[in-house]
Structure 1
């Protein structure tokens, strides 16, 4: 099969051969007929991110809904049922533990079945989780349903950016992966609006107040299950797992709007084929390419990816989205359910902005700039809230909401989309599934711990918990400065060369 797809462009005589070969590889890598197919495919893949965002947009408000607390509240010492703070943290955080399991499960599903069936399974798992919560009678059943929701989200957060990165041309890869973040913010906004309308139109004693949002989540999940089959499978998966050269060619051609036998398509698939053949021929040394022992620097690269995703979760963004309703209820807002809607709108606007800047600036520059701004906004928010907590007024409330929006806007243009972009660009195909799954699982584990302890810590320290997030944002700056390489415009096949040179 190899002679059929091998393509060697002529080398002009006035260029040094080695230098010209590198340039040609890059130019052929960028071959594309029309950008619209890959934009469409990336958007359809990113509907997996939409259900993840919808989950974020609904769970924080749902926990505080009168109908939900009266049905499942475990603290009955007062006049009305309520949740103990540790229970509230567990109900929100258990989905993160499910995400940890989902990330590991991705390793077991992607290699034998492919990325599309894996994303399909995530949609089904999410729908089942919502159905369990819908029919629950006690909060323990809700925990089980939330765990399945998290498992689906964990699979989505690994497979969706992976599939996009393996379909998109190098010069569009960052922007296409950012569509995942954009659809996640759309999901957050849809979820926030749904919670606001449900709280407004259904009586506090009606279970429909929280059941309608659950049904809507099932609809979004099933839509993802259907739409993923419109998308081509990863060409890398066809070659590495099935040795199907023709299907790999067809996948590349569809994604780039080129003919199956176009020279650009043949060149790309030939590179994939040769790299995969080299791995097979070197099977005796496969152990040396494991994450722990592999070279160049596979362990360091995996630890870097884990650190990047964990720092993203520790910026404090979940503090606002998961607990925003509770936070701003304490400062006397008449209807705190409006706050997540406003936050979601800001998140959406700046996520759209990120699509236009992601390929204009270096990844590391945006991440470090974001860390500096996130530290600044969190410091202002924490200081104002601590000073005004016993004497809250309109000015203080407006300032806190404004600074929160600034924080969310910076996150949506830097750490929000870029952490996933960077991690998807760190690994060669030989370890990509395993490494990204491990990174995703580790970040979910950290998110679970923080979500679980945030309510008790907030009760103990109040708004002073913001200083914890200040520390982690500063740590994120140092991490990017010392460990994260610049991967903008780097073809997947040259990642090893980048680490060998450093």
Structure 2
């Protein structure tokens, strides 16, 4: 490919220059109006088909999204491990009464170090997708994941061996968190991209739920089967992930970047149920090539470009970091990592059961998220979610502070107050799963141009893992000091999240990844972005609406 800013003609078709005339823009029109669905007669874009036509690509993307299941499984099982008798006996300490326990420091490290591994893995190993392709990159990191699990499951009585294993498995999961949403967003049709990227979050919730169920089933053992059986199942998840990658077509954007145009056509044709020779497929390849050539004309992307790049790359990188940070600061992992501990505090005899209830709510509500993120848009989901979660945390924390211990903190907790807290914890999880859980991953996967996508997503995701580490590590200390007042901290963060999303986050619903770049280049205001129409679509509609003139 040349580096002149115009795409090289492909198989004898017209050259596309993304900076050229309006006539070029007419040819790339897809849908018009509110990132809409009314096709222009002049449009050559990929046609929208009935939902049944996308069954294959949906199944394939779910296989890629299975990487989220691996992360969810860890979250769902580790909260049970730290409360299991054999785990505490092997990796804990003896107290003055001769009972084994895990100190706040050791608990915080074992639970949270996984997040540090994820943060490093996302930045370092996430680059494997650019080097070897999205598919092979995911296969490589799953092999690293297996090594980490093997170290953990072979631990006998050295807590630091288990600790090291969690770091290594975290490296792999961090890379998966970058590569899976990236591959889905680059491969899936734009009409259902938001829903399919949200499947990554759906798999996380499924992993959390099944992790809860598994630890509930194994806690009755009295030996290492309590925690080694759930860990051993991780090998099966890795095998399933690799099998899924073998079936998945490679990202067409990666293939075009590597000048593998025939393979790119086949990939686009397969996911859109078209023939590789279809003009719409050819046109899509040309659009991708035009965007890539324009990016390549500026040379290889450096890390500094995340700050200085155009159009508005620094703005987008900061937005990604803020959204991923705020997703953690909503307080979701306060419940997921320490769910069993929290519900013991409200007087439940078997807190494992309540964790399963949370897992069910989380999984079920994520299905709602698959619909609303595509139906109502990304911005609106985040805004409504913030308001609803503020209300839930306000009630949860207020009841915990004022009503849970009517006779003092050392006395029996109030059962009605405890039940009310569980209800609002479930409502909180419901609103989180339907809005912020998947919505953030969708926005991040759509925000960055291909040139810096892996770097931008890695940095943003690293912020999520870093805050996950801080929350997981310090939560035992904070709850020991201020108990349920901790919820007010998350409530304040949620209020800030509403303000930030309103003023800084643009709507990307219904746009191709190239059109998202165009929106940022035009400097569209976030609060008006949902009504923005790409210039190519607006011009195509304008031409369609002009009356025909006949010469007599």
Q: TM-score, normalised by structure 1?
A: 0.93
Is the CA contact (8 Å cut-off) linking 1:427 and 1:435 kept in structure 2? Answer: yes
Q: Distance in 2 between matches of 1:207 and 1:349?
A: 32
> Which 4+ runs in 1 deviate beyond 6 A?
285-289
Query: Which of 468, 474, 479 is the matching residue for 1:453?
Result: 474
Q: Distance in 2 between matches of 1:463 and 1:194?
A: 28
Q: Distance in 1 between matches of 2:96 and 2:117?
A: 31
Instruction: Tell me the equivalent position of 2:463.
Output: 442
Question: What SS is found at the alignment partner of 1:296?
Answer: coil
Instruction: Tell me the equivalent position of 1:299.
Output: 314
Q: Distance in 1 between matches of 2:214 and 2:364?
A: 19
Alignment of 1:55-454 (within 5 A): 55-136=74-155, 137-200=157-220, 202-203=221-222, 206-240=223-257, 242-283=258-299, 290-391=305-406, 392-454=413-475
Q: Distance in 2 between matches of 1:459 and 1:277?
A: 56
Query: Which of 478, 481, 484 is the matching residue for 2:505?
Result: 484
> Once the two structures are superposed, what CA deviation does each residue of 1:193-218 show, in whole Å capped at 9, x if it has no partner?
00000013x12xx1111111111122
Taking structure 1 as reference, are residues 29 and 146 closer, same or farther at Cα in structure 2, changes over 3 Å only? farther
Give 1:273 deviation, angstroms. Answer: 1.3
Q: Distance in 1 between matches of 2:97 and 2:158?
A: 19
Give 1:121 deviation, angstroms. Answer: 2.3
Query: Which of 44, 51, 75 is the matching residue for 2:63?
Result: 44
Q: Distance in 2 between matches of 1:482 and 1:492?
A: 22
Instruction: Tell me the equivalent position of 1:12.
Output: none
Q: Distance in 2 between matches of 1:194 and 1:288?
A: 42
Query: What's the C-alpha RMSD, in Å, of the aligned pairs?
Result: 2.0
| Number of equivalenced pairs | 491
Higher deviation after alignment, 379-388 or 289-298: 289-298
User: Which structure has more helix as a fraction of its residues?
Assistant: 1
Does 2:9 match 1:2? Answer: yes
Give 1:25 deviation, angstroms. Answer: 7.4
Taking structure 1 as reference, are residues 110 and 22 closer, same or farther at Cα in structure 2, changes over 3 Å only? closer
Give 1:246 deviation, angstroms. Answer: 0.8
Give 1:289 deviation, angstroms. Answer: 8.9
Instruction: Tell me the equivalent position of 1:467.
Output: 488
Higher deviation after alignment, 190-199 or 17-26: 17-26
Question: What SS is found at the alignment partner of 2:346?
Answer: coil
- Any gaps of 5 or more consecutive residues in structure 2? 1-7, 17-21, 33-38, 407-412, 524-552
Instruction: Tell me the equivalent position of 2:526.
Output: none
> Once the two structures are superposed, what CA deviation does each residue of 1:17-47 show, in whole Å capped at 9, x if it has no partner?
5874463477544435621121011111111
Q: Distance in 2 between matches of 1:399 and 1:80?
A: 32
Q: Distance in 2 between matches of 1:185 and 1:7?
A: 46
Q: Which has the larger radius of gyration?
A: 2
Q: Distance in 2 between matches of 1:287 and 1:215?
A: 40
- Any gaps of 5 or more consecutive residues in structure 1? 10-15
Taking structure 1 as reference, are residues 164 and 174 closer, same or farther at Cα in structure 2, changes over 3 Å only? same
Question: What SS is found at the alignment partner of 2:348?
Answer: coil
Q: TM-score, normalised by structure 2?
A: 0.85
Give 1:263 deviation, angstroms. Answer: 1.4
